[in-house]
Structure 1
């Protein structure tokens, strides 16, 4: 009977550590962003996956504005990936990640008066930590989406997706607010002309 309790306790402890580990990784990433530690950010970010995530969002925003048949959407999506490349090159750098996660703006596209929601990776109070934990969305055992601005309306929220790679949680996606997606879409279409 004692062995059953010991094994149950060990399994419960391992599960608790696993559940908390992405939030610890996000906290570590926040410290790297605050310190502007490019080496640690590079370790914690999967830039290829981040590129795909941002390309999907920007291209999706662009396709919303176009009157295109479903069959032509795939062709446009493939061509759009090439068009987006210069914009994505600026977004998928450690400095751009710092800009996005520090204040919700990209310094390259920041316009006067175009303030986004303030992003704080610093958990602050226990109530804020609990709210972020509750609003997080697990995607199986290897990925989790965490809202960084849970008090903002859905279309103004930043969300990050972390994926387990080996024993390390790495940033694989940033869900941008609609205003920033629209700005990046305009920028991509201006770059293609």
Structure 2
């Protein structure tokens, strides 16, 4: 009896299964473009996403600056400041993880809900053809546009897939979306921010902490003038 069809059927079934998260990705991209808050609320695990954002922001806030691989001695005052900034990263990130802010972030890669300063313009925007995907953000206008996303994905077991967004961009300009199967549907559970965005959030947390210290510092007692 020929059993060659069994491994072929298994491979085909696995291939079809790996396509299922991309239907959700396609619908998520449409929801981002139409700003469908209801869809985002139903397909995003905000608790897990919020925890991930806090970890990323806190790690960036406490990271010592210097050449890669070099030992950097951080002054005690600076260490106290970055530790406090890491603590401030939590409430700051709380404001980032809402349905509206997720839409803003995935739309063009910039969270408008946070005042993170001016972002550099897209260097390819002046030469891009009409209808071409933006260098930032989740843009899926047609089903064939899913192909590069599929090729840039990493299936991790049966229940998790990590997708680079946008797939053609350099690694430093990509988000990493982690989708996880829950029940019969895929949900967004994590957004790995770009290094620039993590640094901006950490920098803002540091500025807020520095400003808070200045406002709460006791006023200096004037010394009597010498007679």
TM-score by length of 1: 0.80
- Greater Rg, structure 1 or structure 2? 2
1:1-193 equivalences under 5 Å are: 5=5, 11-65=10-64, 82-107=87-112, 108-109=114-115, 111-115=117-121, 117-122=135-140, 124=142, 126=144, 128-193=145-210
CA-atom RMSD in angstroms:
2.9
Compared with structure 1, are the counterparts of its residues 14 and 113 closer, same or farther at alpha carbon in structure 2 (3 Å cutoff)? closer
Compared with structure 1, are the counterparts of its residues 20 and 58 closer, same or farther at alpha carbon in structure 2 (3 Å cutoff)? same
Deviations 1:30-78 (A, max 9, x none): 1111221111101110011111221121122122226689xxxxxx999
Q: Note if contact 2:59-2:86 (Cα within 8 Å) is conserved in structure 1.
A: no
Indicate the larger mover: 58-67 or 157-166.
58-67
Bigger fraction of residues in helix? 1
Compared with structure 1, are the counterparts of its residues 131 and 188 closer, same or farther at alpha carbon in structure 2 (3 Å cutoff)? same
Q: Distance in 2 between matches of 1:68 and 1:54?
A: 27
Indicate the larger mover: 105-114 or 148-157.
105-114
Q: Could you list the runs of 5+ residues in structure 2 that have no partner in the other structure? A: 66-71, 75-80, 123-134, 211-227
Q: Could you list the runs of 5+ residues in structure 1 that have no partner in the other structure? A: 70-75
